[in-house]
Amino acid sequence: MRRPILTVAMPTYNAEKYISDAIDSVLNQTFEDFELLIINDGSLDHTLEIISSYKDTRIRLIDLEKNKGIAHCRNLALQEARGEFIAWTDSDDLNEPTRFEKQIYFLQHNPGFGGCGTWLSRFKGSKTYYVTKAYRNPEKIKAALLFKPASIPNATAMLRLSEIRKYGLRYDESLQISEDYDFIFNCSRHLKFSNIQEVLYRYRDSDTSIMKPFEAQEEQTFNILKTVYKKALASLDIIATEKELRLHHDICSSRIFTQFSEYEACYYWLESLKLRNDSKRVYSNKVFNHIITEQFFFLSKKASSFGLKTLVFFIRKSLKNKWLINPRDYSKLAVRCALKYDKFEFKLT
């Protein structure tokens, strides 16, 4: 049997509400040489019947009798994929029609890269309310993964399977969430990544999202994520304490600071990471300082309820460290601080 160029992997569980839209967004791609590998993870609703109603020969179904979890399904897809490349897509999300064409073109014309992602938009109903704009530069992507998985949004990733198999890269099935962050971080130790600077994936904010049960459970989320943080910080030869891991989580999360001392403590942890990289040279100093500067701005937005005290601290520490302040970011923070803004949400557009 002739092997397709691309395997599109879609793990699914109880996705009857949106899976038709997700499947259609794959089948209607401008690039057509793919198999759609759907792994039904023991769904209890009508998901299986909906999948079975499709007659497109590019669809290959693996039906699991019992629910095994998302990480298990992703590993099964890595094992069963027949393509030269593999792309992920979730069963309630949408792919723009040219997504696969543009990612395949990039990887075929850049053989030194092991994978690429794209920008993604988050939507609910007919409203798009946020766009994740991930870096193009591979060094920035690698350094930013110390703080955030969105440096390569896993849902948008297309990977060169020969490289994944060469290094034995797999998803950690012990992680209930952030198995994707852990996987992409591990990949970044071996592979070079880039991101296409265009929204080619649409992430649906729905009740079926795997993250929904964890959104209001900060402590449970931290206890899972710290496994990944430990590994990320170890890349700088840091054996992080529980207190340091919590500081790192505070830096990475969108939780608003309730005390100015929390903001200060996170800044000093950022500064210590900069100093560690200055000595270890794990990442390019120029690139790492850029990432640290962006994280400091992110932190400061979460402290804007403290008013001008935050703005003065931000300016003073940025100047001390020679962290270049983007005038647009400075203006945004100045407005937030003037208003003592105490939220971290995104308005619908």
CA distance 290 to 14: 42
Instruction: Output the domain CATH number for residue 137.
Output: 3.90.550.10
Specify if 207 maps to a domain: yes
297-329 pLDDT tens trace:
999 999 999 999 999 999 999 999 999 888 999
Q: Which of 85, 77, 80 is nearest to 11 (CA)?
A: 77
52-81 pLDDT tens trace:
999 999 999 999 999 999 999 999 999 999
The 8 Å CB, 24+ separation contacts for 56-60 are 56/27, 58/4, 58/27, 58/32, 58/34, 59/23, 59/35, 60/35, 60/36
Q: What is the pLDDT of residue 225?
A: 83
List, in sequence order, every residue forming a beta bridge with 131; answer none if it has no partner: 121
Residues 162 and 204 both lie in one domain: yes
Residues 173 and 80 both lie in one domain: yes
Residues 6+ apart with CB under 8 A from 24: none
6-61 pLDDT tens trace:
999 999 999 999 999 999 999 999 999 999 999 999 999 999 999 999 999 999 99
152-202 pLDDT tens trace:
888 999 999 999 999 999 999 998 778 999 999 999 999 999 999 999 999
Question: Would you say the pTM of this structure is higher than 0.75?
Answer: yes
Q: Is there a contact between 12 and 38 (Cβ–Cβ < 8 Å)?
A: yes
How far is CA 180 from its chain centroid? Answer: 7
Based on the structure, what is the number of domains in the chain? Answer: 2
Q: What residues make up the domain containing 61?
A: 6-212
Q: Which of 277, 250, 275 is nearest to 262 (CA)?
A: 250
Higher pLDDT, 248 or 222: 248
The mean predicted confidence, pLDDT, of the chain is 92
Specify if 221 maps to a domain: no
Q: Is there a contact between 122 and 129 (Cβ–Cβ < 8 Å)?
A: yes
Residues 155 and 257 both lie in one domain: no
Given a cut of 90, whether residue 223 has pLDDT beyond it is no
